Amino acid sequence: MNYLNNKKILLIICGGISAYKSLDLIRLLKKKGSSVKTILTKSAEKFVTPLSVVSLSQEKIYTDIFDYNNEAEMDHISLSRWADIVLIVPATANTIAKLSNGIADDLATTVVLASNKKIFLAPAMNVRMWEHVSNKHNVQKIREFGYNVIGPDIGDMACGEYGEGKMSSVEDIFNKINNYFKNIYNNKKLKALVTAGPTVEPIDPVRFISNRSSGKQGYEIARALADNGYDTTLITGPTNLKIPSNLSVIKINTADQMLEQTLKNLPADVAIFSAAVSDFKIDNFNESKIKKSENMKLNLTRNTDILNLVSKHNSLRPKLVIGFSAETNNLEKNSKIKLNEKNCDWIIANDVSNKNIGFNSDFNEVSIFYKNRKSEVIPKMKKALLANEIVEKINQELN
């Protein structure tokens, strides 16, 4: 099915021998009903002519940020707001380096930096350039920014060398873009629920029981779900994190409040329980502060296991239930027990004894245990990037 009809694509063409392939991409996008506006970098004009781009796109092209005719309309802002996505084909090592460091010294990089839309890049360069440690670092950084990198492929290059760095085919780029809009279209019909952060159980007006969860991974998963078109609700315990703007957020404190809000927001198509819910609460809460001179004796009562309750619920159980497992030892054994005992579809487990990942870190490394297929390990990466990986797997599961 064609999901590109009436879509608005801002295409940035950078300088490189693969630039000529962008003309075929324009032709294909136009054939599928997309509107295409184009920015040519100065070096791109050495490989494709403005006239050929205009003839195919049937739109004016943009080249110079200092063109007073264009900037009277604030093109570096208006172009990114006009587009549904921004597509950079080919993306050179130079452009990737600029974007990874926030440099905006021409119209193309200024538009990307000012954009509030999804950015797709199709890198193309010599194999040694692609494999250079600085380029690998830059590519990793733009992935962490949320940019989508398409390819590159392995093959023969125009320079006569062979290896990774060859730009993905026009068909592959087209299919990636079409699938992106396909997921957005399909996911608009789907509801997602995410729990995140810690819960706090009050002892008295100034003391409480809690844990070290920062909520970062859950927030990133909720953000990625919303970015992929899901009608997303985030139920969060106390955190210091910025609230994503494209989803519904419900703030709670205690496990009982999280349970109440979870049940209120079901049914859902997918539920991700990443919150670190306190296992116990105080059953003898003191209305006034307990003084140091007093003997403090805490009577604890178990909180309701929200994941277990929802996963085994006859009528409210989502199609896909994903639990989290924070372990300090026997990660695989404990996670598989949790997967089976709590009737989850997936368990996403991490080793929180490693201080460089997990709680309060921007990085995570997880193992995903599935009910009906072999488990897999996702290596250490930024939590934002990991969230995108997880949501891509959710897309595949539900669509």
What would the pLDDT profile of 282-327 be if each residue is shown by its tens digit?
Answer: 887 777 787 876 777 788 899 999 999 999 998 999 999 999 998 8
- Answer whether residue 94 is part of any domain: yes
* Residue 54 and residue 128 share a domain: yes
Catalytic residue among 159, 243, 298, 337: 159
* CA dihedral angle for residue 26, residue 30, residue 32, residue 36, rounded to 10 degrees: 80
Q: In this predicted structure, what is the pLDDT of residue 65? A: 65
74 has pLDDT over 70: no
Q: What pLDDT does residue 133 have?
A: 96
Tell whether 308 and 333 lie within a shared domain. Answer: yes
pLDDT of residue 163: 85
Question: In the predicted model, is pLDDT for residue 178 greater than 70?
Answer: yes
Q: Are residues 150 and 252 in the same domain?
A: no
Helix axes 107-114, 93-100, angle to 10 degrees: 40
Q: Which of 131, 166, 184 is the last residue before a domain boundary?
A: 184
The reported pLDDT for the residue numbered 73 is: 55
Dihedral (Cα; 360, 362, 367, 368), 10-degree rounding: 100
Residue 110 lies in a domain: yes
Structural domains counted in the chain:
2
Q: 99 in a domain, yes or no?
A: yes
Quick one: 362 exposed, middle or buried, by C-beta within 10 A (0-12, 13-18, 19+)? middle
Q: Write out the E strands in 151-230.
A: 153-156, 162-166, 191-196, 201-202, 208-209
Could you tell me what percent of the chain has a pLDDT over 70?
A: 95
Phi, psi of 102 (to 5 degrees): 70, 25
More confident residue, 309 or 244: 309
Whole-number average pLDDT of the chain: 90
Domain boundary among 150, 184, 218: 184
75-89, 132-146, 282-296: which has the minimum mean pLDDT? 282-296
Query: By the 8 A CB rule, do 327 and 347 touch?
Result: no
* Residue 312 identity (one-letter amino acid): K
Q: Are residues 141 and 28 in the same domain?
A: yes
Question: Based on the domain organization, do 262 and 351 belong to the same domain?
Answer: yes
Final residue of a structural domain among 125, 153, 184: 184
Name the packing angle between helices 107-114 and 75-82 (round to 10°): 60
Rounded distance, CA 359 to CA 213, Å? Answer: 5
Count Cα atoms within 13 angstroms, Cβ side, for 236: 27
Q: Going by C-beta distance under 8 Å and a sequence separation of 6 or more, which residues neighbour residue 180? A: 85, 118, 120, 148
266 & 126 share domain: no
CATH number for the domain harbouring residue 33: 3.40.50.1950
Q: Are residues 170 and 192 in the same domain?
A: no
* Structural domain harbouring 334: 188-398
Of 283 and 366, the structure prediction assigns the larger pLDDT to 366
- Calculate the alpha carbon distances from 230 to 33, 155, 164, 236 in Å: 25, 37, 35, 18
For β-strands 208-209 and 201-202, DSSP reports them as antiparallel
> Which amino acid appears at position 369 of this protein?
F
Query: Does some domain include residue 2?
Result: no
Residues 74 and 158 in one domain: yes
Mean pLDDT in residue range 265-287: 91
Active-site annotation holds for 159: yes
Domain-embedded: residue 259:
yes
Asked if the structure places residue 3 within a domain, the reply is: no
Is 364 found in the same domain as 250? yes
Residue 135, both tokens: 């380029």
CB 394 within 8 A of CB 224: no
Domain annotation covers residue 241: yes
Per-residue confidence band for 158, with pLDDT thresholds at 50, 70 and 90: confident
**Could you tell me the pTM of the whole model?**
0.83
Same structural domain for residues 253 and 108? no
pLDDT value at position 298? 80
Do 99 and 64 share a structural domain?
yes
pLDDT at residue 142 is higher than 90: yes
Q: What CATH number corresponds to the domain at position 323?
A: 3.40.50.10300
d(C-alpha 386, C-alpha 39), whole Å: 31
| Residues 60 and 39 sit within 8 Å (Cβ to Cβ) | no
Is 166 found in the same domain as 202? no
Is residue 1 in some structural domain? no
